[in-house]
């Protein structure tokens, strides 16, 4: 049973790696307005209503409110993540998220859900988090401001809160209900965003800035991101939210391999610096992640 939801999580993170490559390019080269990314993610919320016939249930007012809050925090996480990237870089932000999202999830799941990991799972969790930070780390020249760090840390906290509250809905209803009603929280955020003229300008200028080819890339990445997120949430519904978030290190491993391969064919779009020190560092991280996976499946 443990292997089944871990496989689902790994499949989700593999697809999210494709999304990460596209976002890395779009954020750094094309659309540089975090609010635009947050808005275009938020407006997809009502699309989850297509899942209603497949088993969605009405929730109590309390649980419905929890679901909405989960969705709101997810969009807040999206905004703060891109805001951090804009002020620094993807390579600096990802290690912060890779370390803090599992840590925040572990603490919140302990307090909110009463989730407990046994000894081997706890050790495996530590190895997974260490591997996630190590594999996503890259020495870079440039600024790393306090504001950028705060945005990155806040995004990690918001993603963790959203994930744990979504798990709460899964436990008190079912998977389909959790996917439908938490996404309604997305849409709640979209409307206030449009109230501000500056936001509207950034949002409606984004497609023009991107161009036709990049718009196609954006929507392709949203498709893989949606499916990947669906699988990630399904894994959360089946198993431990702490462990699923700790497995994010495998996404970085997939991202490393895909970026390295694609940089050979598209060197002008994706540049991955590979040297002996980098290879040793990444291989060490993969060993940590693999050992962590081994322990949590025991």
| 63 vs 5, residue with greater confidence | 63
Lowest mean pLDDT across 6-10, 39-43, 119-123:
39-43
Give the Cα separation of 1 and 15 in Å (integer): 22
- Distance separating the N- and C-terminal Cα atoms of the chain: 11
pLDDT > 70: percent of the chain: 82
């609010």: which residue's tokens?
35
Q: What's residue 142's pLDDT? A: 54
What number is the average pLDDT over the span 33-61?
84
Lowest mean pLDDT across 54-58, 93-97, 144-148:
144-148
Give the total number of structural domains in the chain: 1
Cα of 191 vs its chain's centroid, Å: 23
**Cβ–Cβ under 8 Å, residues 229 and 178:** no
Domain around 64:
2-296
At 210, the pLDDT band (50, 70, 90 cuts) reads low
Give the Cα separation of 31 and 155 in Å (integer): 19
| 64 vs 205, residue with greater confidence | 64
Q: Work out the mean pLDDT of the chain and round it to a whole number.
A: 82
Retrieve residue 178's tokens. Answer: 């959790």
Give the Cα separation of 255 and 135 in Å (integer): 10
| 139 vs 16, residue with greater confidence | 16
Among candidate residues 61, 12, 51, 45, the one with its CA nearest the CA of residue 176: 51
pLDDT digits 0-9 by tens, 215-274: 777 778 778 888 998 999 999 999 889 989 888 878 877 877 777 776 666 555 555 555
Give the Cα separation of 234 and 210 in Å (integer): 32
According to DSSP H, which parts of 173-275 are helical? 175-193, 197-238, 241-246, 248-265
| 185 vs 95, residue with greater confidence | 185
Q: What's residue 212's pLDDT? A: 64
Backbone φ and ψ for 24, nearest 5 degrees, come out as -60, -40
pTM above 0.95, yes or no: no
**Cβ–Cβ under 8 Å, residues 128 and 296:** yes
């939210």: which residue's tokens?
241
Give the Cα separation of 205 and 182 in Å (integer): 28
Give the Cα separation of 177 and 53 in Å (integer): 10
At 76, the pLDDT band (50, 70, 90 cuts) reads very high
What number is the average pLDDT over the span 84-106?
78
Give the Cα separation of 152 and 82 in Å (integer): 9
At 63, the pLDDT band (50, 70, 90 cuts) reads very high
Give the Cα separation of 150 and 292 in Å (integer): 28
């Amino acid at each position: 049973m443990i292997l089944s939801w871990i496989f689902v999580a790994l499949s989700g993170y593999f697809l999210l790696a494709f999304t990460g490559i596209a976002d890395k390019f779009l954020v750094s080269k094309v659309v540089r307005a975090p609010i635009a990314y947050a808005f275009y993610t938020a407006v997809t919320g009502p699309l989850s209503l297509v899942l209603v016939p497949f088993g969605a249930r009405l929730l109590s007012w309390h649980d419905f409110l929890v679901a909405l809050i989960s969705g709101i925090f997810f969009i807040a996480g999206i905004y703060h993540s891109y805001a951090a990237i804009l002020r620094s870089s993807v390579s600096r932000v990802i290690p912060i998220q890779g370390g803090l999202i599992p840590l925040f999830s572990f603490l919140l799941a302990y307090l909110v859900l009463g989730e407990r990991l046994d000894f081997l799972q706890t050790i495996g969790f530590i190895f997974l988090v260490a591997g996630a930070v190590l594999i996503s780390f890259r020495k870079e020249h440039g600024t790393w401001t306090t504001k950028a760090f705060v945005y990155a840390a806040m995004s990690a906290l918001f993603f963790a809160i959203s994930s744990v509250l979504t798990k709460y809905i899964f436990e008190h209803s079912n998977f389909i209900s959790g996917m439908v009603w938490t996404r309604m929280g997305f849409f709640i955020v979209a409307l206030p965003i449009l109230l501000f003229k500056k936001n509207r300008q950034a949002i409606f200028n984004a497609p023009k800035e991107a161009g036709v080819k990049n718009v196609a890339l954006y929507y392709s990445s949203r498709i893989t991101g949606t499916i990947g997120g669906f699988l990630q949430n399904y894994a959360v519904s089946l198993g431990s939210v702490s462990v699923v978030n700790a497995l994010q290190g495998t996404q970085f491993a997939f991202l490393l391999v895909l970026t390295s391969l694609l940089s050979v064919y598209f060197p002008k779009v994706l540049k991955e610096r590979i040297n002996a020190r980098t290879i040793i560092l990444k291989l060490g991280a993969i060993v940590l992640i693999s050992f962590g996976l081994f322990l949590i499946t025991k």
